[in-house]
Amino acid sequence: MNAPLALPLFAPDVPMHYTIPGIDTLTVPLTIALLEADVISNAMLRAPRNALLVDVFGETEKRLCERALAHWWTCLIRANSCKFFRWELHVQQLENDGHGHDMTTTAWFCFNRMGDEIPRFALSRGIERLEATLEGFGQTVLAVLREATNLLPDSFTPWVAVGWAEWLHWDNSGDDKEMIEDFAEMNGITVENALANYDLITRAKFFDNVPEWVCRPRQVVSRAAIGAAGTGDFERRVIDVCDALHALVHRPDFVLEPMDKGAYRCGHDTIDGAMVLLWNEGDVIGQVIDDYLEQVGNAGDYCEFIDANPVPMTVAGIREFQIRTEQTLQVAVLTEKLILLLGEKF
């Protein structure tokens, strides 16, 4: 005897699943996942008093998703507001360009930067002040900043720029002499001609006014040594923010990792970023960043997201994205505080 509401048995070639018609393959499964994850609340499903029937019955899955996500995102931004790191959330489907995510089961939650100009900061003033207090103090704080930026949407930084310089300009050469000789041979000119007529970004030029550790910072002094040396108000405020970042990322419930962030996951390089960090305004680091962005732009195969998150349209997938995004914004708040202490915006 069949149980109540059991589906009848059909021929083997008839698929045993039930689908709800919708606008497309994104909105219906996303709506169901948001409902089950409690992002769409009961209040959102209730019709307002005296609402017109056309409004009551005209609420599509798309509008319901937009309302629910806008409410969640707005509350999250209000709780973790930043002055310069201001982002928008967009949900969409992306074609499979090598990222390996099924369009029918994955929604892409992408971040875009708000505003016309990428926030730009020069870090030398604050870092050099810390180094004057204790050798290694500034480098250690810079290492903390690097780890924090690795947990945020794509940014253009000294530690990223040095990798781009290796690819664009140094091309795996062993030293500047080899780089210049390779460039001259490739262009059919003499070494003297290359040096006289081309603006070659050699290692010597790149690091002329930038300490090498700025691009590869390490935590070289202990917390105890920094605490003992950093007795001034500026130093104490820097230490407090670093301590807060350390406490955040070492919480038992902190799950965010560097591989969870970045537009690269959609299969494209981005031409936008959450921030630009230089050593000094107008330095070679900025030139390399500009060279890289020009290269990506000319190639044409790029995106304008600063972050692209493939989210399974399941309760677990939605809730995991919410947790990671909440933690991203918590890191962003503290990172902005540290940058504003150390750097000069321009």
Indicate whether 203 belongs to any domain. Answer: yes
The residue that leads in pLDDT, 47 or 123, is: 123
Work out how many domains the chain is built from and give that number.
1
pLDDT, position 49? 53
Indicate whether 55 belongs to any domain. Answer: no
Indicate whether 108 belongs to any domain. Answer: no
Query: What's the mean pLDDT when you consider all of the chain?
Result: 88
Encode pLDDT of 91-146 as tens digits.
988 876 556 678 788 999 999 999 989 999 999 999 999 999 999 999 999 999 99
Mean pLDDT of 247-253: 98
CA distances (Å), origin 97, targets 94, 169, 265, 317: 8, 28, 10, 21
Closest C-alpha among 152, 70, 156, 157 to residue 329:
152
Encode pLDDT of 202-249 as tens digits.
999 999 999 999 999 999 999 999 999 999 999 999 999 999 999 999
The residue that leads in pLDDT, 245 or 8, is: 245
Handedness of CA 278, 280, 282, 283 (dihedral sign): negative
Q: What angle do CA 59, 62, 66 make, to 5 degrees?
A: 100
Indicate whether 265 belongs to any domain. Answer: yes
Encode pLDDT of 163-209 as tens digits.
999 999 998 899 999 999 999 999 999 999 999 999 999 999 999 99
Indicate whether 130 belongs to any domain. Answer: yes
Model confidence, pTM:
0.87
DSSP for 196-264 reads HH-----HHHHTSSS-HHHHS----S-HHHHHHH--SHHHHHHHHHHHHHHHHHTSTT----GGG--GG
CA distances (Å), origin 179, targets 78, 143, 196, 200, 283: 50, 29, 15, 9, 21
Indicate whether 146 belongs to any domain. Answer: yes
Indicate whether 289 belongs to any domain. Answer: yes
Q: How far apart are CA 264 and CA 64, in angstroms?
A: 29
Mean pLDDT of 24-28: 77
Residue with tokens 């790149």: 206
Mean pLDDT of 307-323: 96
The structure tokens listed for 312 are 């399974």
pLDDT, position 1? 40
pLDDT, position 171? 85
Indicate whether 8 belongs to any domain. Answer: no
Strands 269-270, 302-303: pairing kind = parallel
Q: What is the domain range of residue 209?
A: 117-304+325-345
110: left (phi over 0), alpha (psi -120 to 50) or beta: beta
